[in-house]
Amino acid sequence: MKKIIIAIDGFSSCGKSTLAKQLAKKLNYVFVDSGAMYRAITLYFLRNHIDWNSENAVHEALQNITLDFEYNDLKGTSDIFLNDENVESFIRDMLVSESVSEVSTIKEVREFAVAQQQQMGNKKGIVMDGRDIGTTVFPDAELKIFVTADVAVRVARRYQELFAKDANITLEEVQQNLEMRDYIDSNREVSPLKKANDAIVLDNSNITRDEQLSIALEWVDEKLKD
């Protein structure tokens, strides 16, 4: 059975991971949330007071970081481990969200993450979501999807998600963080977020998750026939 690489990119909170997880489940592929890797690195930097403006400090810190994904049967998806600790419940906190885009602009951090991501794609049969998957990590991916949604829709989605964990969070905070990350992610020097020339755009502002999945599965079918 032919297996392909599916690269899913797009702005923050536009449903990339949801789509990637749905596709992986349906196709029995491995799902990788590349953003979780940048978040775990950021968590390490914050916890250990690493000055990420210092090249040396970053270089040294990266030597002490091991990232792994482990499948969680209960959730039906993978959890990220930072030096053998499951950090899934910390990496989406506002504190990490406020710094992750800045940390992700650092060349050595990107090289560290991208090398591991490319290794995970060796055997194909993988769905990875992020910002630079179709452009940098897997430029030869058979299927590239660029997901987008209206800002208001994205803010509302993220707010719902975060409010469930922290009732003090405000809509303004969420909106500011989202807009800031979109700006930094799109304007950084090293592999900025941009649509790959051969990516297909999927705007999910006004469609359901099931509709989104059906559309993407049709694209997968076409690629599997090629």
Shortest distance in whole angstroms from residue 218 CB to ligand DC: 25
Residue closer to ligand DC, measured from CB, 15 or 220 = 15
Shortest distance in whole angstroms from residue 11 CB to ligand DC: 9
Which range in 21-29, 56-64, 124-132, 149-157 contacts ligand DC by CB under 6 A?
124-132
Q: Which of 39, 67, 87, 127 binds ligand DC (CB under 6 A)?
A: 39
Residue closer to ligand DC, measured from CB, 29 or 134 = 134
**Ramachandran region of residue 186, left (φ > 0), alpha (ψ -120 to 50) or beta?**
alpha
Per-residue x/- mask for ligand DC, residues 126 to 165, rule CB under 6 A? ----xxxx--------------------------------
For 197-216, b where at least 16 C-beta lie within 10 A, e where not — what string?
Answer: eebeebebeeeeeeebbeeb
Number of neighbours of residue 107 by Cβ within 10 angstroms: 13
Task: Check binding of 34 to ligand DC (CB under 6 A).
Answer: yes
Q: For residue 79, give both structure tokens.
A: 């959890």
Q: For residue 92, give both structure tokens.
A: 């989406």
Which range in 33-41, 61-69, 78-86, 138-146 contacts ligand DC by CB under 6 A?
33-41
Within positions 172 to 191, which residues make up the interface with ligand DC, using CB under 6 A?
181, 185
Which residues contact residue 223 at a Cβ distance below 8 angstroms, ignoring those fewer than 6 apart? 4, 142, 143
State the Cα–Cα distance between residues 15 and 140, nearest whole angstrom: 23
Q: Which of 4, 45, 88, 101 binds ligand DC (CB under 6 A)?
A: 101
State the Cα–Cα distance between residues 107 and 137, nearest whole angstrom: 14
Residue closer to ligand DC, measured from CB, 173 or 224 = 173
Residue closer to ligand DC, measured from CB, 97 or 213 = 97
Which range in 96-104, 167-175, 199-207, 216-224 contacts ligand DC by CB under 6 A?
96-104
Strands across the sheet with 77-82, in order? 67-72, 77-82, 85-86
Shortest distance in whole angstroms from residue 129 CB to ligand DC: 7
Name the residues that contact ligand DC, by CB under 6 A: 12, 34-35, 38-39, 100-101, 104, 130-133, 181, 185
